[in-house]
Amino acid sequence: MAVLVTGGAGYIGSHTVAELNEHGFEVIVLDHLLNGHRQALFGTTLYEGDIADHKLIAEIIKKHAIDTVVHFAAMSLVGESVQKPLDYYEANVCKTRALLQTLAELGVQRFVFSSTAAVYGEPVQVPISEQHQTSPTNPYGDTKLSIEHMLRWCYNAYGMHSISLRYFNAAGAHLTLPIGEDHRPETHLIPLVVQAALGQREHVTVFGEDYETRDGTCVRDYVHVMDLASAHRLAVERLRHQQGVDVFNLGNGKGFSVKEVIDVVSRVTGRTVPTIYGARRAGDPAVLVASSAKAKEQLNWVLRHSDLETIVSSAVNWHSRHPGGFNE
């Protein structure tokens, strides 16, 4: 029995592939490599292709006796989704529908899904628990919520068991392997601030100073990518004995503002971060902070690396040693 990881050559996917390999799983990766990196896989079996390619997925499932799919492959930029909503419904909802159809036809019954804090929208209560209302403020979050809904009906109709992991802001880099964040273009705050501090980009722009937060900038819950990877492995293990459909938040429970992130990067690197202040980015809620009590209790999830200093230090280490990402 093997695990198929879609989007496994991407940022969170490759850290999860490393975690699954380390725990003795047979891992197969499917990625079209438009945003992923073959070098992040260290020889793990990779099929280059699309999640909507029925023939290819069916071949992989049969050849490797896949019994569980961990599904990362998606378009996942909040701002871009507001500009190009139909691209997001196509890439996320339509293509995941096609993938699920193939899995249902071939009788694959275990599915771990990369969901997101963006399903909640503007929070009514913080920290946000899984019971919080879901009301996305951007198309990206809405596509992920639609997939969660599909998964409920897939259990009802095909007996497909699933766990959706709603993660908050993934950040940091692997502490021992040479893998880290290399999105092109990079839009995430921590790599941008680190690169600005290291002189790899001119400056970072703070998107909005007029939010109702302690310093006017947006507050987010940053969770180390290796902690996310361990949660995925725990979810795969849980699906071996747990039936039904479930949802877990993954965050560290502490919120940091954009300005606070810049201060920590400045402290860790000993350098000033060239910063300019700009307008709000469309679709950004002011505050997103998780309650991950359920994951801690029921998945036995333990956060080992998610204090902001460790996250930032690991990112600084990755970006200093790999200024051109996986190209160098």
Ligand X SMILES: O=c1ccn([C@@H]2O[C@H](COP(=O)(O)OP(=O)(O)O[C@H]3O[C@H](CO)[C@H](O)[C@H](O)[C@H]3O)[C@@H](O)[C@H]2O)c(=O)[nH]1
- Could you list the residues that contact ligand NAD (CB under 6 A)? 6-7, 9-13, 30-36, 50-51, 72-74, 76, 95, 114, 116, 167, 169-170, 183
Query: Which residue number, 21 or 213, has a Cβ lying nearer to ligand X?
Result: 213
Give yes or no for a contact between 5 and 30, defined as CB atoms under 8 angstroms apart. Answer: yes
Q: Site for ligand X (CB under 6 A): which residue of 20, 27, 69, 118?
A: 118
State the number of CA atoms in the 13 A half-sphere of 176 facing the CB: 3
Give ∠ CA 90-144-113 in degrees, rounded to 5: 110
Report what 114 binds from ligand NAD, ligand X, none; CB cut-off 5-8 Å by kind. ligand NAD
Report what 206 binds from ligand X, ligand NAD, none; CB cut-off 5-8 Å by kind. ligand X
Using CB under 6 A as the binding rule, the residues of this chain from 55 to 94 that contact ligand X are 76, 78
Give yes or no for a contact between 188 and 181, defined as CB atoms under 8 angstroms apart. Answer: yes
Per the annotation, the verdict on 222 as an active-site residue is no
Q: Site for ligand X (CB under 6 A): which residue of 66, 173, 189, 287?
A: 189
Report what 322 binds from ligand NAD, ligand X, none; CB cut-off 5-8 Å by kind. none
Strands 256-257 and 169-171: unpaired
Q: Report cis status (omega within 30 of 0) of the bond before 127.
A: yes
Q: Site for ligand X (CB under 6 A): which residue of 206, 234, 247, 262?
A: 206
Please tell me which residue in 11, 140, 167, 211 is annotated as part of the active site. Answer: 140
Q: How far apart are CA 26 and CA 306, in angstroms?
A: 27
Structure-token match 């333990």, residue found: 302
- 128-165 in b/e form (b: 16+ CB < 10 A) is bebebebebbbbbbbbbbbbbebbeebbeeeebbbbbb
Position of minimal CB gap to ligand X: 218
Q: Which residues bind ligand X (CB under 6 A)?
A: 76, 78, 116-118, 168-169, 187-189, 192, 204-207, 218, 220, 258, 281, 284, 288
